[in-house]
Amino acid sequence: MKIIAQKDVINSVTIKNGNEVVKSDVLAKVFKRTHKQVLALIRKKIEFMEGNNISLREYFLEEKFNKPQGGTATRYYLTKKGFDYIALSLKGNNAELYKIWYIDAFYDKQRVIQEQKLTAKLNHDDDLWKQFRAEGIVYRHKLTDTIRDCVVKYRIEAEKKQNDGRYYQHYTNMIYKKLGIDLPKAVNPRDVLDKRTLVKLEELEDNVADMIKEYADNGIYYKDALKLIKERIS
């Protein structure tokens, strides 16, 4: 049986609500289980916890998501406590190795969170950084307002689409990728950027907002505009 690469285990631990977590469906793939089996195991643990008045939020966070084939399904985010709680039940080929890698990944992600919080604190004591951060808010608002006016409203009015949250994320991801910003969101990512990167970020957000408006004025919207903007800033 092919062993899962350690980097895949490490990358599967992410940040949600300031906590390091792993998704139940990802965990199922690593340990060669069906998601249904992992969900049954988690729900059994939850039933016990609820029967003993134990708070679930420190262990499991439920989420509904859209399936590629249509409809919705449920998965859970497992915190370090949640992972530890069900880990003893996960057995099989290489299971012990995966558990060690996951433990290392959780602790490494926690270290990153603490470092980010310290960096954010130091930045907020820097007057010049605070000036750049305040200026950056203006450009961020310009970008989000432009997306709202030139993308969201068009999608709602012309295409009858309601899920506008993704549009902001698509542009944010594109800009962060261009600048090489890859930060777990334990704190606001902008709070842990250095002054040089903050300036680059506000300049690029300003330029992207202008491009969105330019393409909208010429009848080019959403995916087509996003593709063209990616090409221009690459």
Say if CB 143 and CB 171 are below 8 A apart: yes
Band of residue 66 on the pLDDT scale cut at 50, 70, 90: confident
Q: Is the pLDDT of residue 1 over 60?
A: no
Let me know if 187 is exposed, middle or buried by CB neighbors in 10 A (0-12, 13-18, 19+): middle
| Token pair belonging to 180 | 């090489």
Each residue of 138-179: pLDDT tens digit? 999 999 999 988 888 877 777 677 665 678 888 998 999 899
- Cα–Cα distance list, 232 to 72, 77, 211, 227 (Å): 36, 37, 9, 9
Say if CB 122 and CB 114 are below 8 A apart: no
